[in-house]
Amino acid sequence: DTEVTQTPKHLVMGMTNKKSLKCEQHMGHRAMYWYKQKAKKPPELMFVYSYEKLSINESVPSRFSPECPNSSLLNLHLHALQPEDSALYLCASSLGGAGYEQYFGPGTRLTVT
Amino acid sequence: GQQVMQIPQYQHVQEGEDFTTYCNSSTTLSNIQWYKQRPGGHPVFLIQLVKSGEVKKQKRLTFQFGEAKKNSSLHITATQTTDVGTYFCAGPWMKTSYDKVIFGPGTSLSVIP
């Protein structure tokens, strides 16, 4: 199974809402990633978890809060977002390190109103 | 700082024509990866190159890694409509962490039937 799943596929939320994005992989990968992608732009790294520990935070605003409950799951908690946070949020996993290919999930299309 | 650039940004070709995208890094890379993202889709890993001067083929796609390991190219022979999408190269971020990959801005390919 080489699939990364993400839920929900689409999300519309107000600026005062709290919501969570979920990501799951069952490939035994030790690294999991959150990316933000705007239209016609490359994926922009937000967070990396390695062995369930946060290893990279790309100076992401605190209104985005990642969580890795176990080696297969990755969450992104959202609170008090801004309209400019509207984007495609991609989860990815890899065996670990920049020397391994990343498997991306289908993404969550987020709209902040 | 470290940069990964790609040219061209956009390419429109007639079906059956060849296509090439070029990737250039400001620093020497230990490896380079290529991903394809279809419109409305998510990035999908195509290939990884590791050795200086390496050439790999996947059917109509030919990938090259430069001798200095600072540039790479993807060549598609006789394009088909199924080749439509954005092609990203990606290399390891050398400065802070083993886990981070930096994506080039991508080349968007349109194929006119």
> Which of A49, A101, A103, A108 best probes binding to B when mutated, by most B CB atoms within 10 angstroms?
A101
Q: Which of B43, B48, B50 sits opposite A104 (nearest CB)?
A: B43
Which residues in chain B land under pLDDT 70?
95-98
> From CA A74, how far away is CA B109, in angstroms rounded?
32
pLDDT the model gives residue A87: 98
Nearest to B43 among A43, A45, A96 (CB): A43
* Share of residues in chain B with pLDDT > 90 (%): 88
What pLDDT is attached to residue A53? 93
Q: Would the CB atoms of A102 and B98 count as touching at under 8 Å? A: no
Give chain B's contact residues with A (Cβ, < 8 Å): 30-31, 33, 35, 41-45, 48, 50, 88, 91-93, 96-101, 103-106, 108
Tokens of A88: 């495609």
Nearest Cα of chain B lies from the Cα of A60 at a distance, in angstroms, of 15
Q: What is the pLDDT of residues A80-89, one digit of tens each?
A: 999 999 999 9
| Contacts with A54 from chain B: Cβ below 8 Å | none
Q: How many CA atoms lie within 13 A of B32 on its CB side?
A: 34
pLDDT of residue B97: 59
Render pLDDT for B9-28 as a digit per residue (tens, 0 to 9).
999 999 999 999 999 999 99
What number of other Cβ atoms are within 10 A of residue A3's Cβ?
Answer: 11
Say if residue A2's pLDDT is above 90. no
Q: Which of B47, B101, B110 to mutate to test the interface with A (most CBs of A within 10 A)?
A: B101
Q: Which residues of chain B have a CB within 8 Å of the CB of A55?
A: 97, 99
Nearest 10 degrees: Cα torsion A85, A109, A37, A33: 100
User: What pLDDT is stored for residue A1 in this prediction?
Assistant: 64
Residue B86 confidence (pLDDT): 98
Please provide the distance, in angstroms rounded to a whole number, between the alpha carbons at the two ends of chain B: 41
